[in-house]
């Protein structure tokens, strides 16, 4: 299965301005919590639309599977021996909804995005980040329109329409219980680690331990070394989301496996924490230029190199693909990773931001979504 991995546009200036000063005991995060609550509800509602579309896809798959079984049963002995009239070769019996992939649209991209155009994907992230509970449905329905357009272009469009009963827009229904959230629980989940590290900074060097919200005690120095970098990215990613995947497809790994030196581009993410390193050097202890373990940051590309790497990533893809095919991967196996990296790079490039890879910022099985 691998790790829950993610690729992030990262705004160092925002981290230096809003997050690190708070940890040092300056300012407040209270003014960010209204946005945090709004974004969480938009994210949850958009995911409910994605899950509704996923249920519609399951309906298509079940109907096609039944039709294939009937076709198989009706094939004569010689057809089976000669391999003719196989149902899997009939385009009208293809599985899935054209233009929709759960790995890409629900578990991969932030919120719920089916659009495939690179520039439009980044713009959609902006729309969701600026949305409210009252406006998010309109954005999500726009993604259903994208899927309907793909269906219209499919050779088995009539068959899909017959199964789902018309258009995707008309037949996708989010469940209200899938978008229900507790306000206080959301706010706590967003900020508790930053509150803990604010306490840890005050206790640093005093010999005192700090207690988290579960009552467990921690040594401040060890906490800053092992948990602080990921906690900062988690907090920042709540307001500037990344792309997620699961398995073994993070950028530095793909490059190194293809004998491309990842350190030409990826460095340790030390600059994210530069203002604190003099006082808390332990932060740098576990930072690396590539993902080496779970629950960690990996390699970082500064903003000024993101456009160049984005272009070179496309150049490297044939070598990456050849290496993965030699490992018995298929193009379908590789595609979600490539798309996620490509979109995250495009988003970072458009915003003039850096780029970082990480593990366990998100987790689909635990409902921690982007």
Domain limits, the chain: 3-31+180-359, 45-175
Q: How far apart are the first and last CA of the chain?
A: 19
164-190 pLDDT, tens digit per residue, is 999 999 999 998 877 677 899 999 999
Contacts of 280 (CB under 8 A, 6+ apart): 201, 204, 221, 224, 228
Q: What is the pLDDT of residue 78?
A: 47
357 DSSP β-pair partners: 7
Q: What is the pLDDT of residue 82?
A: 47
CA angle, residues 161, 165, 169, in degrees to nearest 5: 80
Q: What is the pLDDT of residue 1?
A: 64
Whole-model pTM: value is 0.92
CA gyration radius for the chain?
23
What distance separates the 2 farthest-apart alpha carbons in the chain? 83
Q: What is the mean pLDDT of each run of 10 residues along the chain (370 residues)?
A: 92 98 97 97 95 95 85 57 53 80 91 90 97 97 96 90 94 83 92 97 94 92 97 98 96 98 97 97 97 96 98 98 97 95 97 98 85
Q: What is the pLDDT of residue 239?
A: 98
Look at residues 316, 304, 239 and name the one whose alpha carbon lies nearest to residue 267: 304
Q: What is the pLDDT of residue 334?
A: 96
- Matching residue, tokens 């340790």: 268
Does residue 28 sit in helix, strand or coil? Answer: coil
Q: What is the pLDDT of residue 244?
A: 96
The token pair at 253 is 């790994």
Rounded to whole angstroms, the Cα distance separating 185 from 256 reads 41
Cα dist. 178→46, 97, 225 in Å?
10, 22, 37
Contacts of 245 (CB under 8 A, 6+ apart): 4, 5, 6, 103, 107, 108, 336, 337, 340
């Amino acid at each position: 299965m691998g790790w829950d991995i993610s690729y992030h546009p990262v705004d160092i200036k925002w981290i230096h301005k809003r997050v690190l000063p708070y940890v040092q005991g300056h300012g407040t995060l209270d003014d960010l919590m209204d946005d945090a609550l709004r974004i969480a509800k938009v994210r949850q509602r958009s995911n409910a639309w994605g899950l509704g579309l996923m249920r519609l896809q399951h309906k298509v798959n079940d109907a096609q599977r039944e039709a294939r079984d009937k076709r198989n049963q009706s094939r004569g002995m010689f057809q089976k021996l000669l391999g003719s009239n196989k149902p899997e070769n009939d385009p009208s019996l293809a599985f899935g909804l054209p233009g929709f992939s759960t790995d890409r649209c629900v578990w991969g991209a932030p919120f719920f995005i089916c659009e495939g155009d690179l520039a439009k994907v980044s713009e959609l992230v902006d729309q969701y980040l600026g949305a409210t509970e009252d406006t998010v449905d309109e954005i999500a329905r726009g993604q259903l329109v994208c899927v309907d357009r793909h269906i219209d272009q499919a050779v088995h469009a009539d068959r899909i329409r017959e199964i789902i009963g018309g258009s995707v827009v008309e037949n996708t229904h989010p469940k209200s219980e899938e978008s229900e959230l507790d306000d206080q629980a959301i706010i706590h989940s967003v900020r508790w680690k930053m509150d803990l590290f604010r306490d840890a900074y005050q206790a640093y060097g005093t010999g005192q331990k700090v207690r988290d919200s579960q009552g467990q005690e921690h040594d401040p120095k060890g906490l800053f070394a092992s948990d602080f970098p990921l906690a900062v990215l988690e907090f920042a990613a709540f307001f500037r989301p990344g792309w997620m995947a699961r398995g073994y497809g993070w950028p530095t790994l793909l490059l190194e496996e293809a004998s491309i030196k990842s350190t030409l581009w990826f460095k340790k993410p030390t600059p994210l924490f530069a203002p604190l390193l003099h006082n808390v050097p332990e932060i740098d202890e576990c930072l690396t230029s590539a993902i080496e373990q779970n629950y960690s940051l990996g390699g970082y590309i500064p903003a000024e190199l993101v456009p160049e790497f984005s272009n070179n990533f496309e150049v490297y893809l044939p070598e990456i693909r050849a290496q993965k095919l030699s490992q018995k991967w298929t193009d379908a196996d590789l595609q979600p990773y490539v798309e996620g990296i490509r979109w995250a790079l495009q988003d970072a490039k458009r915003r003039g931001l850096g780029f970082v890879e990480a593990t366990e910022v998100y987790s689909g099985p635990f409902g921690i979504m982007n």
